[in-house]
Chains A and B, each alone.
Chain A
């Protein structure tokens, strides 16, 4: 059943649940952060509307900088602002930022410890028809490898807003990951959100499998958990919205309790949430694992729902992974 303490949207399993892209949360959060602190500034590389920086740009034109199609310049200008008392947010598509400007982020933001917030948009294959060039499925891995970097992956637009606000309050480099497509808004303003603290969204008594997810696919994990419960298979669904620092304590505790783990993410298995969870479990409590995500392949053009099905991240794929890991569970 749903964890009542998570205070999720009561309409969660209804067909007319409100839908919004997580990137909307970035736009709303950025304006709130700008209102709360005059040192918040924003930069964009010719994608102001689609990364939702537009509202901030309109409200605070003197604190918004259009850099043109120049992601390396955007990251390094932000690095200079971030060591001079400003809290810069930079936004572009994740394949370009942190894709193209990775070295600049490494040297001038992460190693240099500049107070820059990097918003990677249009992440995952659900970008859809634009195809693999615009579908970032490696960005978490690229950012995870950087010391000093924190990584937040919001599961819906409300959490996107909370994550953006939290990033403004936390000192140091943060990577925020957003998606283009509308996804169900299944959390509420009252849902607990503390960076670094994973939240249980679903728990069946006597659960045998822990599902750890992040981003919009967490909704599919909840749908899978509900169907599995009807089939007498108990699971826990954990919202691991912070990939770094990972809530190791919670993950180890629940993995011990369940005895098997499935990770769910719209990202490469290598180096993403799955990799991060596997690293922790290998050290503390090795249990059988299955990974739902991109298996060492690029995406392609198509409708988001078609792509999620084709690349094995749909509700039925999560259920299959749970059943598979259950067979390996001791």
Chain B
């Protein structure tokens, strides 16, 4: 991973904004799909696909690539947008999300789309699959790293903690988990549905290194990943505090937008807000 500088940050911010626009267009066009999670993970996806990952979109099966496992598959619109914008396939294909015959399934499927490392959707089994990949790399003496992007709600699943326990026991230092701590899930706020706090202490007690960051700050994201790479004794979790629905004022922090479809005019309003960066600049489309 290269050093980060001001110019690159500006570029990543531009990408994150584009990913948000893509997500809104895709979900609006499809008529269904998840929106809050993909919006709040835009910076993290931009950071991974455009800076952190050692990957080659022209050679998606390159054996020595870093692996990025998306555990909470329902936020796949932002991953599809990141894959397309980093060169895995044409932007045009994003319009096919959730349509018959598409490679962009409602939840991601490894067998049909290059760049998808594993099929996901049912929650709580991403970290353990990432553990399997990290074990394979260790067995083969390979330097590539495994990253698992997951959600806070998924930590209600037993399988998640089974994987955390196993990775702690086996000191999988080539595994980094990033948790989208957006505090929402379908039925409401996580701390009302099933409290996760003290979240940090839970991971620490399972023998993980814990870093907490602002999930919308590129310096934070990139330096946390660099720190994870430097930790030799154990796996690292980056708890990324995010604002659900980030970037669109009427969606932010509202759990109802977890998977609510757009009503008439809402998608346009959201796009306008993104294009003007919340009214701070004039949109090129106006």
Contact = CB atoms under 8 A, between A and B. Distances in A.
Interface of A: 41, 62-63, 65, 67-68, 70, 72-73, 76-86, 88, 103-104, 107-108, 111-113
Interface in B191-232: none
Interface in B113-159: 117-122, 125, 128-137, 139-140, 158-159
A62 B139 contact: yes
Given A73-B159, A112-B111, A79 B129 contact: yes
Given A84-B132, A107-B125, A76 B139 contact: no
A82 B132 CA distance: 8
Given A62-B139, A84-B133, A113-B111, A77 B118 contact: no
Given A67-B162, A83-B133, A86-B139, 17 more contacts: A70-B165, A77-B129, A77-B135, A77-B163, A79-B118, A80-B69, A80-B118, A80-B131, A83-B110, A83-B118, A103-B122, A104-B159, A107-B119, A107-B120, A108-B118, A108-B125, A112-B110
A73 B109 CA distance: 20
B166 interface: yes
B96 to A, nearest CB: 20
Interface residues of B, number: 32
A65 B110 contact: no
B87 interface: no
A84 B138 CA distance: 11
B118 A73 contact: no
A103 B119 CA distance: 12
17 contacts: A41-B139, A68-B166, A70-B162, A73-B159, A73-B163, A77-B131, A77-B135, A77-B166, A78-B132, A84-B137, A88-B132, A104-B122, A108-B118, A108-B119, A108-B125, A111-B109, A112-B109
B250 to A, nearest CB: 34
A85 B140 contact: yes
B163 A86 contact: no
Interface of B: 63, 67, 69, 109-111, 117-122, 125, 128-137, 139-140, 158-159, 162-163, 165-166, 170
Contacts of B162: 67-68, 70, 72-73
Contact of B125 (A63, A65, A84, A104): A104
Nearest to B164: A73
A316 B129 CA distance: 48
Nearest to A73: B162
A85 B137 CA distance: 10
A83 B186 CA distance: 31
B139 A80 contact: no
A113 B110 CA distance: 9
A80 B129 contact: yes
Nearest to B128: A76
Nearest to A85: B136
B129 A73 contact: no
Given A73-B159, A79-B118, A85 B135 contact: no
